[in-house]
């Protein structure tokens, strides 16, 4: 008997070294351009000294209020909290899958009083229960079972669970980046509205002065009644625009409250007009985008997880082996219960193979391949969308920078025109309609300039998001990076 027990660990060692069926994972290829099309000479490529840690990306804007708000996102944003919980679930699933690699152990104990029925019966432990025999049965046993991972099904499940957990971790990073980016964009839009509000207040003041001037001229018999009515109309319209601007500002303020996890009813952002300009943003080479964006990382990890499910489906075509053992004591008397004569045990393997399943395994295998192909397509689509995102924000920043210069010139000309027309109106050489036209042109040009400034900041944040957030790519946590082997073979693409 000792020889048999010595053979068990040798058999187990041999089984553990068995192969894993299914294709080894290879990262899918994706089309990567050599350079960004919309990058101009004003953008310098990122150099090695640009890649050291410079802290959170939003600090590059140098806004203390924005910094304070951004710090709240990771801890208080409920969407981020939801993704964090999903990441913890995915990590738990890795432990769940890994548990199948080990044996299961169990223990049981029972005590019963029984009466035999019919003919004499011998129960475990050598106890004879006759037709009229009443006796006690005491049972204590230990059970062990193990299904060796002969074909790598469990190992594939563990590997797939790890890849899924890494994808969930990247989803969490992407949720943080999205929330932080949206917060920054809403913040700069709000600041642009603060600047617009100052312009509208100045417009109201200017229209009030024009109304007073027109009323004085009307009282002197120099101006006509329609001029006064026109001045009153312009003043009312300016006040209405100022009120409408307040509604837009409140909407952005409420959106920021949700992003930082606070009730909109108790949240407020101080009024400060936008004065910031986009910071210089060195561009990475396009190929680094694949390593920086969390949504690309998540899509690639899901392709890896889908690949492992092919191995799981293929392993179902092979037989499974189960090793079980049990031992314990059974006795009719408590005093002699745990003694050698009452020892019982069993040990043996069980081989199970499916001979016919109506095409179930074939369907599951085909489904696994199709799921992998879908994951690869999603990965490549994510990569293409990422490059589109970068190019869109690059062209937006480039064009808006040109617009700022042109619009500043327009504001300067409009201001000069208004000064000239006001002097002419006071001299009685032009009508009030020309004053109204000059005022409207100036105030409209100023508001457009404020809007462009806000859009530039929004596009700058959008570009940072498109590049994966900042310049630096810290190494992923060990529990996310442990499954990044470069596979050797891919049977299907």
Angle between helices 153-219 and 294-315 (to 10 degrees): 150
**Mean pLDDT estimate for the chain:** 84
pLDDT for residue 484: 38
Task: Decide if 262 contacts 76 (C-beta within 8 A).
Answer: yes
The number of angstroms, rounded, from the C-alpha of 453 to the middle of its chain's C-alpha atoms is 29
Task: Decide if 314 contacts 329 (C-beta within 8 A).
Answer: no
> Tokens for 344?
């019982």
Segment 235-249 shows an average pLDDT of 93
Burial of 355 (0-12, 13-18, 19+ CB in 10 A): exposed
Q: What is the pLDDT of residues 95-135, one digit of tens each?
A: 999 999 999 999 988 888 777 655 555 555 455 555 557 77
Segment 449-467 shows an average pLDDT of 94
Q: How confident is the model at residue 388 (pLDDT cuts 50, 70, 90)?
A: very high
The answer on pLDDT for 316 being more than 90 is yes
The answer on pLDDT for 14 being more than 80 is no
For the chain, the domains span 23-100+151-318+359-481
More confident residue, 262 or 7: 262
Distance CA 226, CA 217 (A): 12
> Tokens for 298?
């998540």
Q: How confident is the model at residue 248 (pLDDT cuts 50, 70, 90)?
A: very high
pLDDT for residue 327: 86
CATH topology of domain 23-100+151-318+359-481: Outer membrane efflux proteins (OEP) (1.20.1600)
pLDDT for residue 261: 94
What is the DSSP code (8-state) at residue 491?
Answer: S
The answer on pLDDT for 471 being more than 60 is no
Backbone phi, then psi, for 374, in 5-degree steps? -65, -45
Angle made by CA atoms 400, 418, 198, in degrees to the nearest 5: 55
Least confidently predicted of 47-61, 126-140, 278-292, 413-427: 47-61
Distance CA 135, CA 275 (A): 94
Q: How confident is the model at residue 148 (pLDDT cuts 50, 70, 90)?
A: very high
Q: What is the pLDDT of residues 472-486, one digit of tens each?
A: 444 444 444 444 333
Spell out a b/e string for 102-125, using b for 16 or more CB atoms within 10 Å of the CB, else e: eeeeeeeeeeeeeebeeeeeeeeb
What length is written for the chain? 493
């Amino acid at each position: 008997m000792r020889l048999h027990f010595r053979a068990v660990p040798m058999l187990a060692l041999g089984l553990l070294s068995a192969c894993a069926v299914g294709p080894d994972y290879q990262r899918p290829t994706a089309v990567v351009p050599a350079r960004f099309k919309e990058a101009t000479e004003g953008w310098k490529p990122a150099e090695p000294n640009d890649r050291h840690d410079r802290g959170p990306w939003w600090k590059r804007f140098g806004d203390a209020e924005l910094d304070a708000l951004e710090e709240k996102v990771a801890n208080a944003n409920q969407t981020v909290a939801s993704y964090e919980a999903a990441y913890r679930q995915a990590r738990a699933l890795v432990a769940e899958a890994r548990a199948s690699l080990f044996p299961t152990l169990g223990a049981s104990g029972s005590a019963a009083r029984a009466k035999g029925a019919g003919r004499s019966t011998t129960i475990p432990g050598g106890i004879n229960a006759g037709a009229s025999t009443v006796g006690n049965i005491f049972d204590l046993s230990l059970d062990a079972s193990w299904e060796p991972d002969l074909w790598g099904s469990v190992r594939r499940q563990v590997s797939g669970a790890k890849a899924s957990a890494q994808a969930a971790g990247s989803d969490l990073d992407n949720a943080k980046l999205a929330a932080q980016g949206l917060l920054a964009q809403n913040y700069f839009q709000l600041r642009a509205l603060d600047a617009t509000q100052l312009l509208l207040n100045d417009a109201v003041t200017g229209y009030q002065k024009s109304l007073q001037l027109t009323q004085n001229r009307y009282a002197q018999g120099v101006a006509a009644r329609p001029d006064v009515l026109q001045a009153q109309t312009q003043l009312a319209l300016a006040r209405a625009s100022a009120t409408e601007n307040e509604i837009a500002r409140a909407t952005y303020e409420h959106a920021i409250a949700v992003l930082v996890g606070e009730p909109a009813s108790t949240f407020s952002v101080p009024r400060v007009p936008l004065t910031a300009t986009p910071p210089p943003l060195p561009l990475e080479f396009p190929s680094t985008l694949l390593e920086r964006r969390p949504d690309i990382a998540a899509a690639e990890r899901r392709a890896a997880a889908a690949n492992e499910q092919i191995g799981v489906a293929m392993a179902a075509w092979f037989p499974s082996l189960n090793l079980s053992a049990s031992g314990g004591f059974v006795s009719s008397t408590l005093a002699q219960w745990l003694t050698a004569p009452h020892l019982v045990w069993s040990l043996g393997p069980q081989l199970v193979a499916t001979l016919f399943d109506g095409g179930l395994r074939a369907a599951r295998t085909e489904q696994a391949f199709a799921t992998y192909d879908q994951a690869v397509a999603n990965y490549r689509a994510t990569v293409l969308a990422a490059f589109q995102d970068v190019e869109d924000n690059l062209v937006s920043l480039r064009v808006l920078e040109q617009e700022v210069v042109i619009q500043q010139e327009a504001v300067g000309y409009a201001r000069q025109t208004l000064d000239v027309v006001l002097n002419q109106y006071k001299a009685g050489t032009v009508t009030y309609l020309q004053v109204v036209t000059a005022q409207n042109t100036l105030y409209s040009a100023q508001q457009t300039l404020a809007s462009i400034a806000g859009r530039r900041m929004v596009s700058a944040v959008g570009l940072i998001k498109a590049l994966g957030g900042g310049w630096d790519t810290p190494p992923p946590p060990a529990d996310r990076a442990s499954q990044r082997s470069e596979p050797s073979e891919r049977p299907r693409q």
